[in-house]
């Protein structure tokens, strides 16, 4: 296996979030390109989460751990009611034990993008049951309420990718890549590796984990429903 000198996205989110919008977008773009290739091979990852994303010191974004990945045929044969994956990063259909699609991986990527931009997961709960219930209901706080500095176009991407109905999300990674590239100026895209590598070189692991916090009472206010 390839050795990647760097950090996983979990460590980066824990010690550096919220990330600058352009940095989060560049990382999401790298993940989307990895999924574009994976999906083109007929493979659904099914466990997209921060610890399965590696960021190298050269600025490369690597998607790892295909331990529970399935090809399209196998995914359709998965028993209804069987839940496989990490609860906080599941798509609604995954939480329900329903058949998965490429849109399921994209929903999980949307959760990563939300978390990079805000420092918190969109679907919070006291336990996995509560988390899964919020995912199924698609109940989350709009990202701009936590971080008002998120550009409007990027907010739209997050909300589209986190829609409950898979048919209303991006239909494939290529569509998402197109929108992300419109959000990120070409001057930054051309220096993608340098920007990500510099962010990693400045990562301060002495910074307390979960430096960004959110009051659970915020969920009593206006919600985003997809």
Give the model confidence (pLDDT) of 100-145 as tens digits.
999 999 999 999 999 999 999 999 999 999 999 999 999 999 999 9
pLDDT tens, residue by residue, 66-112: 544 444 544 443 434 444 568 999 999 999 989 899 999 999 999 99
Q: Which segments of the chain does DSSP mark as H helices, in order?
A: 9-16, 21-40, 72-77, 92-95, 102-118, 128-137, 143-146, 152-161, 173-183, 186-189, 192-201
> Nearest to residue 25, comparing CAs of 174, 183, 194?
183
Cβ distance 48 to 147 under 8 Å?
A: no
pLDDT at 210: 53
What is the spatial distance between Cα 110 and Cα 129, in angstroms, rounded to a whole number? 21
User: Is 72 labeled as catalytic in the residue annotation?
Assistant: no
**pLDDT 10s digits, 40-54:** 999 999 999 999 999
Distance CA 62, CA 8 (A): 9
Q: Alpha-carbon Rg of the chain, whole angstroms?
A: 17
What is the per-residue pLDDT for 74? 44
Strand partners, 53: 63
Residue 220's CB is within 10 A of a number of other CB atoms, namely 8
Catalytic residue chosen out of the listed positions 5, 8, 14, 47: 47
CA distance 18 to 169: 24
| pLDDT for the residue numbered 1 | 64
């Amino acid at each position: 296996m390839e050795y990647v000198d760097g950090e996983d996205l979990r460590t980066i989110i824990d010690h550096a979030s919220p990330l600058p919008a352009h940095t989060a977008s560049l990382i999401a773009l790298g993940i989307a390109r990895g999924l574009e290739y994976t999906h083109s091979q007929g493979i659904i990852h099914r466990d997209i989460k921060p610890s399965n994303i590696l960021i190298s010191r050269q600025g490369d974004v690597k998607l790892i751990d295909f331990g529970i990945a399935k090809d399209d045929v196998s995914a359709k044969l998965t028993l209804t009611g069987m839940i496989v994956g990490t609860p906080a990063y599941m798509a609604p259909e995954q939480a329900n034990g329903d058949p998965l699609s490429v849109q399921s991986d994209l929903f999980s990527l949307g959760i990563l993008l939300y978390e990079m931009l805000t420092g918190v997961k969109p679907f919070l709960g006291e336990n996995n049951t509560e988390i899964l219930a919020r995912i199924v209901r698609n109940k989350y706080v709009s990202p701009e309420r936590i971080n008002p500095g998120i550009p409007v176009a990027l907010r739209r991407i997050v909300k589209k990718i986190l829609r409950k109905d898979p048919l209303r999300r991006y239909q494939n990674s290529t569509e998402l890549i197109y929108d992300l590239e419109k959000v990120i100026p070409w001057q930054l895209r051309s220096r993608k590796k340098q920007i990500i590598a510099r962010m990693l070189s400045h990562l301060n692991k002495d910074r307390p984990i979960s430096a960004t916090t959110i009051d659970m009472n915020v969920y009593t206010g206006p919600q985003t429903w997809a």
